Chains A and B, each alone.
Chain A
């Protein structure tokens, strides 16, 4: 179950996945009916299962089904992401589907701690910065972000990450 914990993560690069909305709780990230296993294996199949089904029903595209974000590894979220239940299944599922870092306005505390446990740092940024990143990610999904985690004393929980736009893809 454990991911490498002795390797410091200093920098993470990748394309973004914007999931908008405040108070997205861990029941939404990973519905309770998928908690009845005794292993985390295969958890990635259930990421946002109900939200994605609801989106499909109403002819909308959930970010995790949106081809534009396919292969993205940096999740861009808003306030209080991951509030609620302490289930580590939620960060496990995100990590296993390919998320490597989450940038948000704020996080549920237990969730943020669990993310650190699985090697997927949660980084806080202010609302304006998040709005800019989300807009950039949605209008130019090929943009690659680099998250530098060396800004403060190595504490991954409270590091103030800089997500900067690297190179605009040729298509734009």
Chain B
């Protein structure tokens, strides 16, 4: 009987079964950030441990780094202390640090793939839930907590239970103006934010086969928002074309050998799954969230729930969410006035995300609505440099976006980029939780980067497909 990639890769990394169903699992690479690692380094020191595999351990500072231009220009002394501690720890334990002071930084889930660190068949761990991103390459990649960061630093292994595997097959094609972000939000909408509990998600089917690596990263990034600890796509020629010649990828004969091996870890044709879900690409519309959980979403042309149509139990919780978000019962999401537009994050902060936006803005004289603050935050310095080389920075700046330095920025509200009061943000990030973007009462509406750009210019949530065809007809704020 055939096996899935998850099973094959997991089995290859088992050191031993500790208790029934619980394994000591080896990690190929361990990624670190400044938020979840300092206490782990401290514990290592207290217990007199060294880092077991310094050459498999990489880190950067991304969550609390300023994006105003100078990454050392902290307004918050605590953030400064945290980033200083990160640099000190990386150096004391002789680990590879993508140092902001050297302009090598970015969001770790953007930096590792672009340097070829993320490879098929690996087990990748990091003290950050969006580690699922790396599954795009056919790796098993998942977020861990600080105690586990300590364990992996000391042993390069961790305790892990085997997950069930759900294959999610998306047939057909995506319609024009529908992006990987919409696909991911659709999956979360259909299966729920807790639907993936206990599962790894295997994304497959014609639609996924056609996605670029950056689109696959967007999809796998959001697996955690579907409740799945990790998500992955089987490696194929798209994977290999992306990876070849990146600095940490194998070279020469080692590359050829690696490709043979990577082909072997693909899920078998007759693999068995714990569950299979088939969705149609043609059914997917541009999606927007209306609530405080990523499964509270709707196609952009539809409305938030009508409270009268809900059960008594659902009604109270939904009323509370709609009140928080400022929506009336059954109201359309389209036309919601926004205050802030955010392009960026480990979900949608890569080159192709900004290219897609620039393709709609270039040479059209479109301007961000006067009442909107629009931020474009590249996912890494490399992305930023590439955008400058292509002149996309100028397209964004001319349209009225602030073109900022790399970091997590407004996705998680840990640096100076945060919402204020009840501001509403059209955001290409990954979480619409209460308070997520830095203001306890701030409101987040998740959508694709192109939809964020349309909202920035219209000054309100709008269907980007219609808006960019007739920018002067749609959008009330021009």
Contact = CB atoms under 8 A, between A and B. Distances in A.
Interface of A: 1-2, 21-23, 25, 27-28, 31-33, 35-40, 50-51, 53-54, 79-80, 83-89, 91-92, 106, 108-110, 113-114, 117-118, 153-155, 157
B309 to A, nearest CB: 19
Contacts of A83: 193-194, 227
B427 to A, nearest CB: 14
Contacts of B82: 36-38
A118 B146 CA distance: 10
A115 to B, nearest CB: 9
Nearest to B86: A38
B177 interface: no
B261 interface: no
Contact of A33 (B143, B193, B413): B413
A32 B438 contact: yes
B254 interface: no
A41 to B, nearest CB: 9
A35 B433 CA distance: 16
A80 B438 CA distance: 23
A106 B196 CA distance: 12
Given A38-B39, A38-B42, A53-B440, A117 B197 contact: no
Most B Cβ at <10 Å: residue of A22, A27, A51, A89: A27
Most B Cβ at <10 Å: residue of A53, A87, A154: A87
A28 B441 CA distance: 12
B431 A27 contact: yes
A21 B39 CA distance: 31
Top 3 closest A-B pairs, CB basis? A117-B147, A114-B145, A88-B145
A84 B129 contact: yes
B128 A23 contact: no
B73 to A, nearest CB: 16
A84 B225 CA distance: 7
B145 A27 contact: no
Contact of A39 (B38, B144, B194, B436): B38
Contacts of B145: 86-88, 91, 110, 113-114, 117
Contacts of B20: 153, 155
Given A28-B433, A39-B38, A51-B434, 5 more contacts: A27-B435, A28-B435, A35-B63, A35-B414, A88-B146
Contacts of B303: none
Contacts of A54: 440-441
Contacts of A89: 146
A111 B292 CA distance: 19
B394 interface: no
Given A1-B146, A86-B129, A37 B197 contact: no
B390 to A, nearest CB: 32
Contacts of B127: 86, 88
A4 to B, nearest CB: 13
A86 B128 contact: yes
Contact of B194 (A21, A23, A27, A51): A23
B19 A155 contact: yes
B128 A32 contact: no
B35 A87 contact: yes
A87 B414 contact: no
Interface string B311-330: 00000010000000000000
Given A113-B144, A114-B147, A153-B20, A32 B414 contact: yes
B22 A109 contact: no
Contacts of A114: 145-148
B79 A38 contact: no
A38 B293 contact: no
Nearest to A114: B145
A110 B36 CA distance: 13
A27 B444 CA distance: 14
A23 B19 CA distance: 30
A84 B64 contact: no
B445 interface: no
B246 to A, nearest CB: 26
Contacts of A28: 433-435
A37 B147 contact: no
A36 B76 contact: yes
19 contacts: A1-B147, A2-B147, A23-B194, A28-B433, A31-B435, A33-B414, A35-B64, A36-B35, A36-B81, A37-B78, A39-B42, A51-B434, A53-B440, A80-B197, A84-B431, A109-B198, A110-B142, A110-B143, A155-B19
Interface in B289-323: 292-293, 317
B412 interface: yes
Contacts of B42: 1, 38-39
A25 B42 CA distance: 27
A36 B34 CA distance: 9
Contact of A109 (B35, B197, B292): B197
A122 B135 CA distance: 27
